[in-house]
Structure 1
């Protein structure tokens, strides 16, 4: 029993200690002129779905949930956002070459078709980020038209 108390105290101290680790916030004060939604004529329904389902991980403006204030959740979110932006950052869209844009649009289309995005770990809490069948088809169709027009 004494060992369990010691373990509990050590875990509590470790949990409190990691709360003081610095958190990086992915929040820009302005919208970039290179942003996907700025440089493209995006219909309102597509724009809204992109912002709700994609922009938290794939832009310079993340809407953070309440649990971002608590470690180790903050570290998980920070790594998740860094990985998402490494793959695709909508805030820097216009800095990509036409070939790269087509490649990214093709990847978006394929990941939507294969239900790979948004991640299920994200949609568990952010249920509004889930795509209905109609929304998915609409997004795929719009992204395909955009890719073909480049």
Structure 2
């Protein structure tokens, strides 16, 4: 029993101490001249879907939930956001080269079609991001229309 109490005691100490390891949750300022929704003058219904289902991980407009301030959960969330921005950052769309934009649009359409995006883990915490079939179709068509127009 004494060993169990020691394990609990030291576990609580470690959990308390890791709260002091800082996680940078600062969003870079968004330049509307290069922001995806501004560049394409995205219709309100598509813009709403993007903001609800994509922008937390794929833009510089991340809204961190309260639990994102508790380690080690904060580390995981920051890692997911960083990876999401690395693959696609709507806030910096205008800064990417043409080939990268084409690839990001193709990958986005494919990920939405095959239900890998939004990720199941994100949907579990954010039910509003669980896209209906109609919303998925709308987003995929929007991305494919941009690809067909070649004005990316």
TM-score, scaled relative to structure 1: 0.96
> Is 2:2 aligned against 1:2?
yes
Deviations 1:54-98 (A, max 9, x none): 110111111111101111111011111111111111111011122
> How far did residue 26 of structure 1 move?
3.7
1:42 aligns with 2:79: no
Structure 2 distance, partners of 1:39, 1:19, is: 40
- Indicate the residue corresponding to 1:127 in structure 2: 127
- Is 1:106 the equivalent of 2:101? no
- Assess if the C-alpha contact under 8 Å between 1:26 and 1:61 holds in 2: no
Q: 1:130 to 1:22 in 2, by over 3 A?
A: same
> How far has the Cα of 1:5 moved from its partner?
0.3
Partner Cα distance (1:26, 1:119) in 2: 23
**Matched residues, number:** 150
Taking structure 2 as the reference length, the TM-score comes to 0.94
8 Å CA contact 2:23, 2:74 repeated in 1: yes
Partners of 1:10 and 1:119 in 2: how far apart?
35
Gaps of 5+ in 1: none
The 5-angstrom pairing of residues 1-150 of structure 1 reads 1-150=1-150
Write out the 4+ residue segments of structure 1 that deviate beyond 6 Å after TM superposition: none
**What CA deviation, in whole Å up to 9, does each residue of 1:28-60 have, x standing for no partner?**
344442111111121101101101111101111
CA distance in 1, matches of 2:145, 2:135: 15
Q: What's the offset of the Cα at 1:27?
A: 2.0
